[in-house]
A and B are shown apart, each in its own frame.
Chain A
């Protein structure tokens, strides 16, 4: 017979999440704070005047559709891994990577469109409004590349049959991170649409 004190010692602690999941969530919070700083700086700066309006190139809409699609393929890969359909999961991960790479190149292409529309990053013709667009896109693209590396690592593990219904941690974390990056871009795109 156990005393209530002994039962106390068996009580489950923590949030029931794996430490690596918690680490990832905390890192996501720090990325959120970084972009909160950029976008609130953007608004503060805009309200001070001397702010050149700019047009967002249409190619950004294309990139946005690509990254939303990549989130869908990532989620699909996650479901396939959960059902032990390893081959399909690999295809899903590969598709995600391809779409991710298309997105990064698409963003670089959009920079070309921005320059063509006379929105510059630096130099004597630049205004902070345009510089902010490049910074937001660039820092996001940097994080997307870290996401691509993460997905590539998961793909390698999956090719070695290390990702399946009883080993979902890595693909689960990668999916969370990838959705976060997609959501972050949606936020930035809407932010720029509403505040340019």
Chain B
């Protein structure tokens, strides 16, 4: 039996499909298999998780470009504060006044850049794409638990995108109170013009977004709990699935809290309540609002806001674990420790939110409790980093584009994580708060590294998504330009921040203390804009490869997980025949004694006598 393993590992279709009766979830899917579907149902209102994943991905790419354009605009202002920007007038219209960027529009740019990147790209675009695509394929299900709810999840996201995008073109400008929308600035239209219709549309858009996240999240969790194929116990799940599972749970528990906060803010803005407003004078006029507490909003916001950064980073962690193991041709180091650290991060994420609020005048004792809990996160994060490095150690590394981005992810996560230890200390944070040091920290640790996870995922699973390969050489160019670019942008930013340069300031040339950083800021801006343009290499590669890429094989990376046992372009229902059963964990790479350097999860131990360990031999008997 052992001799035919390499063959069966490549053909894979029938391997391990022991004659076991169908499970109950098999039957309802056959009615979905319409062969001549109208294009509207196939490409637009599709209930197929793979099509929904592609919809999320392409919408996410669209948003990433918008978010990148906005950041290039405000980097122009920061890098060349004296320049005349008349040449932008055709695009920005009245936001350029006398060759200068309108200061309020600058705030709107910063706000929308944050909102778009955090929610629309790195939440919806990242976990929306890969949770949808990989969960049914890797757990061995024909589709999500509810295809209809899954479709609604995308269309609520689409609706939310339309509202947010249209707010960019408002006469009074989009929301401008920062992505954290702290009241009273966000609550009072008199405060800044962006708090008028722009803020209303921001809130409406976020309500749709939260609905989308909940519909998606409950589906992901249900699919993982209920629809795993035979033999796929929780301890045989790929780490991607564990990451998506915990990410979805975080979303289910934290997004409703943002909903509550947004609802109260809507009441304050439009219905005359005073949840967050008190003792406010505008132009000498006292407002009627009494008894509100703006700090309450911060508590509610950060109760979502902190888990949200893990919602962003954990899917990337899961995919990087998978890609590092596959391309090192080694089992992931410490599989159970990886799961344990994900669970640890998930639990801790709910009890650290106040570390965003050390300067709100909170009781220093309470601050030290939150500081203690925050610093504990370094432990599971450290476990993950050491396990990734140990996986690479003495591996037979294949530097695919996906692998490069995964290694880049680990690098960025370490660089950004170290400054997290500094900012987690209340005493240091009070000094650093609201400076560019914070900006540099979170852009490295959750912004850039989540983007690297996203790129790694796209390069790695592109063959399964579109049946073609992306171009490797363009992938290398994209990686090196981005990797170098990101470090050139964010490393100098730490120094600017340590010097006390505050975030969100439109112009700083009026302050002697900061004008010495003019050159450094120019350098950062130049690097940022170049790194942004480097992304067009990826966009070209992506769209070109969809139509003209080299044809993929069934399992181009010689990987072990179930998605690679499907046909090159899986139809609705994923496997044409029976769903394969699972016999082993997903990381049997370079197993001593095995014929090939990988054994897919659906190969029974009885077919691999030469590589079985003693306890596995017992299973096969």
Interface-facing stretch out of B174-182, B268-276, B592-600: B268-276
Interface residue B619 (Cβ < 8 Å from any Cβ of A): yes
B20 sits at the interface (CB 8 A)? yes
Interface residues of B in 578-621 (CB under 8 A from A): 581-583, 604-606, 618-621
Q: How far is the CB of B268 from chain A (nearest CB, A)?
A: 9
Contacts of A11 in B (CB 8 A): 230-231, 233
Interface membership of chain A positions 1-22, coded 1 if the CB is closer than 8 angstroms to chain B and 0 otherwise:
0011110111101110111101
B291 part of interface (Cβ distance < 8 Å):
yes
A17 x B303 contact (CB < 8 A): no
The chain A residue with its CB closest to the CB of B580 is A9
Determine whether the beta carbon of A128 is less than 8 Å from that of B226. no
Q: What residues of chain A lie closer than 8 Å to B272, measured between beta carbons?
A: 121-123, 126
Contacts of B273 in A (CB 8 A): 121-122, 126, 128, 131
- Decide: A37 and B256 in contact? CB cutoff 8 A: yes
Bound CA–CA A5/B583 (angstroms): 7
State A52–B278 Cα separation when bound (angstroms): 14
Q: Taking CB as reference atom, which chain A residue is nearest B620?
A: A5
Q: Are A135 and B267 in contact (CB under 8 A)?
A: yes
Q: Which residue of A lies closest to B255 (CB)?
A: A30
Task: Name the residue of chain A whose CB is nearest to the CB of B279.
Answer: A50
Is B212 part of the contact surface with A, judged by Cβ < 8 Å?
Answer: no
Kindly provide the distance from the CB of B349 to the nearest chain A CB, expressed in whole angstroms: 14
In the complex, A51 has a CB within 8 A of chain B? yes
- Whether, in the assembled complex, A102 has its beta carbon less than 8 Å from a beta carbon of chain B, the answer is no
- CB-defined contacts of B256 to chain A, threshold 8 Å: 30-31, 33-34, 37
Q: Is the CB of A13 within 8 A of B293?
A: no
Known interface pairs A22-B221, A122-B273. Does A45 touch B293 (Cβ–Cβ under 8 Å)? yes
State A52–B274 Cα separation when bound (angstroms): 13
Contacting A at CB under 8 A, from B235-262, are: 252-257, 259-261
Instruction: Evaluate contact between A9 and B145: CB separation under 8 angstroms.
Output: no
Indicate if A153 sits at the interface (CB-CB under 8 A): no
A175 to B303: give the CA distance in the assembly, Å. 31
Check B583–A48 contact: CB distance below 8 A.
no
Q: In the complex the two chains form, is B618's CB within 8 Å of A4's CB?
A: yes
A112 cross-chain contacts in B, Cβ below 8 A:
none
Contact in complex: A37, B300 (CB < 8 Å): yes
The answer to whether the Cβ of A193 comes within 8 Å of any Cβ in the partner chain is: no
Partner of A22, one of B145, B254, B296: B145
Q: How many Å from the CB of B463 to the closest CB on chain A?
A: 28
- Which residues does chain A contribute within 8 Å of B292, judged by CB atoms? 128
Q: How distant is the Cα of A38 from the Cα of B300 in the complex, in angstroms?
A: 9
Kindly list chain B residues whose C-beta atoms are within 8 Å of the C-beta of A29: 252-253
Determine the main DSSP class of A at the interface with B. Answer: helix
Question: Taking CB as reference atom, which chain A residue is nearest B270?
Answer: A122
Residue among B257, B259, B291, B303 with the highest chain A CB neighbour number at 10 A: B291
What separation, in Å, do the CA atoms of A27 and B211 have in the docked complex? Answer: 11
CB-contacts of A92-130 with B (<8 A): 121-124, 126-129
8 Å CB interface, B204-238 against A = 214, 217-219, 221-223, 225-228, 230-233
Q: Which of B225, B255, B618 contacts A15 (CB 8 A)?
A: B225
A127 touches B253 (CB 8 A): no
The reply to whether A8 and B583 form a contact with Cβ atoms under 8 Å apart is yes
Question: Shortest distance in angstroms between B189's beta carbon and chain A's nearest beta carbon?
Answer: 16
Q: Are B225 and A14 in contact (CB under 8 A)?
A: yes
Expressed in whole angstroms, the Cα–Cα distance for A19 and B288 within the complex equals 50
Please, which residues of chain A bring their CB within 8 A of the CB of B267? 121-122, 131, 135
Compute how far the CA of A63 lies from the CA of B227 in the bound complex, rounded to whole angstroms: 41
Contacts of B260 in A (CB 8 A): 34, 37-38, 41
Decide: A123 near B288, CB < 8 A? Known: A17-B226, A19-B227. yes
Asked if A23 lies at the interface with its beta carbon under 8 angstroms from chain B, I say yes
Contacts of A58 in B (CB 8 A): none
Question: Once bound together, how far apart are the Cα atoms of A20 and B148, in whole Å?
Answer: 12
Tell me the chain A residues, 26-79 only, with Cβ under 8 Å from chain B. Answer: 26-27, 29-31, 33-34, 36-38, 41, 44-45, 48, 50-52
B213 to chain A: closest CB distance in Å? 10
Interchain nearest-CB distance for A179 vs B (Å): 19
- Most chain B CB neighbours (cut-off 10 Å) among A5, A29, A51: A5
- A-B residue pairs, 3 tightest by C-beta: A122-B272, A124-B288, A37-B260
Q: Which residues of A contact B (CB under 8 A)?
A: 3-6, 8-11, 13-15, 17-20, 22-23, 26-27, 29-31, 33-34, 36-38, 41, 44-45, 48, 50-52, 121-124, 126-129, 131-132, 135, 139
